[in-house]
Amino acid sequence: MATEEVRQEILKTLDEGVVEYEEDQVKEAAQRALDEGVNAYDAVMNGLAAGMEKVGNLYDQQEYFVPELLMCADALYIGLDILKPHITVEDLGDKPKGQVVIGTVQGDVHDIGKNIIKLMFEVAGFTVHDLGRDVPLEQFVEEQLRTDSEIVALSAMMTTTMMGMKKVIEMIRERNPNVAIMLGGAPVTKDTADLFGADGYAETAGNAVQEAIKMISQLRQMQA
């Protein structure tokens, strides 16, 4: 276990490495996190993802532009690759796990958040069918039917593409009412999710899996 001081230092190095798109710095700090016993999930969320949040602000302030965003994303992924095998989701117990179809909706190429959610599902023991980004709406319906997944998780990062989620929900409900649909992404709120008729919503990766497990339990109770 790292001391609080060492932990803070490593998180800061990861965060700054993403912001400054210093791939080597991120690589070394991610490895150091593991060597020093910093929790890998802590390092992802409070190091890498925290850095990406700052990148978002720099973009909003027009200090960073698209090329910088992509370089920052590359740095984030380098860290994620190192930390991912060491993440364990505790406190989930033997609750029922299941299958998830996940993707970013049509017209939207943002996939960093979606990939973090995917990671959480994987480490929690779910089977994940990742459709990627800019996914044609109909494909969510087809993949759910093909795999018989209990959950469909949709991500959207733009107010425009968010509307596609409503359509996916309608299309899925028409073909198969016994599916739990969960939404997420920066413009999505609990209110939007309710309005669109979704079953679940999570603001961050931190509570996405717990929310999914809750939805699966409800679904299984209804079917019993």
Q: Contact residues for ligand B12 (CB under 6 A)?
A: 49, 52, 55-56, 59-60, 66, 69-70, 73, 107-114, 116-117, 153-155, 157-160, 182-187, 202, 204-205, 208
134 is written with which tokens?
């800019």
Pick between residue 38 and residue 202 the one whose CB is nearest to ligand B12: 202
Taking the CA atoms of 205, 18, 105 and 144 in sequence, report the sign of the dihedral they define: negative
Least distance in angstroms from the C-beta of 50 to ligand B12: 9
| Residues facing 200 on adjacent strands | 182
The smaller minimum CB distance to ligand B12, of residues 10 and 80, is found at 80
Q: How far is CA 48 from CA 18, 110, 196, in A?
A: 6, 16, 31
For the CB of residue 3, give the shortest distance to ligand B12 in the complex, in Å.
27
Choose between 6 and 95: whose C-beta lies nearer to ligand B12: 95
By beta-carbon proximity to ligand B12, the closer residue of 36 and 54 is 54
Shorter beta-carbon distance to ligand B12: residue 3 or 57: 57
**Shortest distance, CB of residue 208 to ligand B12, whole angstroms?**
4
* Smallest separation, CB 64 to ligand B12 (Å): 8
Instruction: Report helix angle 159-175 to 137-147, nearest 10.
Output: 40
Minimum distance between the CB of residue 119 and ligand B12, rounded to whole angstroms? Answer: 9
